Amino acid sequence: MIRMRLAHVLVGVVLGVGLLLWPAQATITARLSDLSLRPEDRIDYDFTPTTTGEITVKLMLRPTTASVRVQLLFAQTAVVDQTGPTTRIAKAEVAEGQVGRPWRLIVTNLSAQTVEGRLELTYPRRFCKEIFAHYRIKISYEINAELEDLHCQQLYGIVRSLPSDHLKRLREIRAREPDVLVYGQYFPPSLIELPGLRASRTFTLVAYHELGHLVHFTRSTADQEARWEKLFRESGRDPDNFVPDPIDRSLYAMTNQYEDFAVTFSAYIAESQRSISEAITRSQRNKPLLLHKFKLITEYFRHQADGSTKVYIYRVGTEVPIPTIYRASVPLTEEGLPDFTGPIAWESF
pLDDT digits (tens, 9 = 90+) for 238-247: 999 999 999 9
In this prediction, residue 17 carries a pLDDT of 28
Q: Helix 257-270 to helix 272-284 angle, to the nearest 10 degrees?
A: 120
Most confidently modeled range among 19-33, 73-87, 106-120: 106-120
Length of the chain: 349
Backbone phi and psi for residue 38, each to the nearest 5 degrees, phi listed first: -80, 170
Average pLDDT, stretch 93-117?
Answer: 97
143-154 pLDDT, tens digit each: 999 999 999 999
Amino acid making up residue 303: H
In this prediction, residue 85 carries a pLDDT of 82
C-alpha closest to that of 209 among 275, 143, 172, 260: 260
How far is it, in rounded angstroms, from Cα 231 to Cα 212?
17
In this prediction, residue 15 carries a pLDDT of 25
How far is it, in rounded angstroms, from Cα 244 to Cα 20?
37
In this prediction, residue 21 carries a pLDDT of 37
Banded model confidence at residue 6, pLDDT cuts 50, 70, 90: very low
How far is it, in rounded angstroms, from Cα 9 to Cα 199?
21
Residues whose CB falls within 8 Å of the CB of residue 249, separated by 6 or more in sequence, listed in order: none
> How many CB atoms lie under 10 A from the CB of residue 88?
16
Average pLDDT, stretch 16-39?
Answer: 70
Answer whether residue 186 shows pLDDT above 80. yes
Cis amide leading into 102 (omega within 30): no
Answer whether residue 14 shows pLDDT above 50. no
Backbone phi and psi for residue 124, each to the nearest 5 degrees, phi listed first: -85, 125
Q: Helix 149-161 to helix 200-219 angle, to the nearest 10 degrees?
A: 40
Banded model confidence at residue 84, pLDDT cuts 50, 70, 90: confident
In this prediction, residue 10 carries a pLDDT of 45
Banded model confidence at residue 26, pLDDT cuts 50, 70, 90: low
Amino acid making up residue 68: V
Q: Regarding predicted confidence, which is higher, 198 or 97?
A: 97
Amino acid making up residue 152: C
**Residues 101, 18: contact at Cβ < 8 Å?**
no
Answer whether residue 2 shows pLDDT above 50. no
213-234 pLDDT, tens digit each: 999 999 999 999 999 999 999 9
**Residues 317, 205: contact at Cβ < 8 Å?**
no
Average pLDDT, the chain: 92
> Cα torsion for 19, 21, 22, 23, to the nearest 10°?
160
C-alpha closest to that of 212 among 236, 243, 241: 243
How far is it, in rounded angstroms, from Cα 185 to Cα 206?
9
Average pLDDT, stretch 251-270?
Answer: 98
288-345 pLDDT, tens digit each: 999 999 999 999 999 999 999 999 999 999 999 999 999 999 999 999 999 999 999 9
